[in-house]
Amino acid sequence: QSFGSLYHFNAANQPAGAADRCVNCPAGIESLCPYSALKIYMRDRVFKGNFGWPVNVLTEELTREGVLKALQEGPYGRCVYACDNDVVDHQTVNLEFENHRTAGMTMTAFSDEGRHTRILGTHGMIRGDSRMIWCKDFLTGETKEIDSGVNDDGSILSGHGGGDFGLMKSFIHAVLEQDQSLILSGPDETLESHLMVFAAEKSRQTGQVVEL
- Provide the pLDDT for residue 84: 87
- What's the pLDDT score for residue 155? 66
- What is the pLDDT, as a whole number, of residue 88? 96
Over residues 177-210, the pLDDT tens digits come to: 999 888 888 889 999 999 999 999 999 999 999 9
31 pLDDT band (50/70/90 cuts)? very high
91 assigned to some structural domain:
no
Residue at 165 is within a domain: yes
**Helix/strand/coil for 42:** helix
Residue 65 lies in a domain: yes
- Structural domain total, the chain: 2
> If pLDDT is split at 50, 70 and 90, which confidence band does 34 have?
very high
Overall average pLDDT of the 25-42 stretch: 97
Residue 37 pLDDT > 90: yes
For 106-158, the pLDDT digits (tens) are 999 999 888 899 999 999 999 999 889 999 999 999 999 999 887 766 666 67
Q: Per-residue pLDDT tens for 39-95?
A: 999 999 999 999 988 999 999 999 999 999 999 999 999 999 999 889 999 999 999
Is the pTM higher than 0.85? no
Length of the chain: 212
In the prediction, which pLDDT does 154 show?
62
Let me know if residue 45 belongs to a domain: yes
User: Rounded to the nearest 5°, which phi and psi values hold at 37?
Assistant: -65, -30
β-pair partners for 136: 125, 143
Separation of alpha carbons 137 and 124, rounded Å: 5
Whether residue 94 lies inside any domain: the answer is no
pLDDT given for residue 20 in this prediction: 96
Each residue of 168-182: b (16+ CB within 10 Å) or e? eeeeeeeeeeeeeee
- The answer to whether residue 1 sits within a structural domain is no
Instruction: Look up residue 44 and give its DSSP letter.
Output: T
For CA atoms 8, 13, 19, 24, give the dihedral sign. Answer: negative
Domain that holds residue 34: 8-77
Task: Kindly state whether residue 170 falls inside one of the protein's structural domains.
Answer: yes
Q: Which of 17, 42, 77 is the last residue of a domain?
A: 77
Domain boundary among 51, 77, 103: 77
Q: Among residues 40, 59, 77, which one ends one of the domains?
A: 77
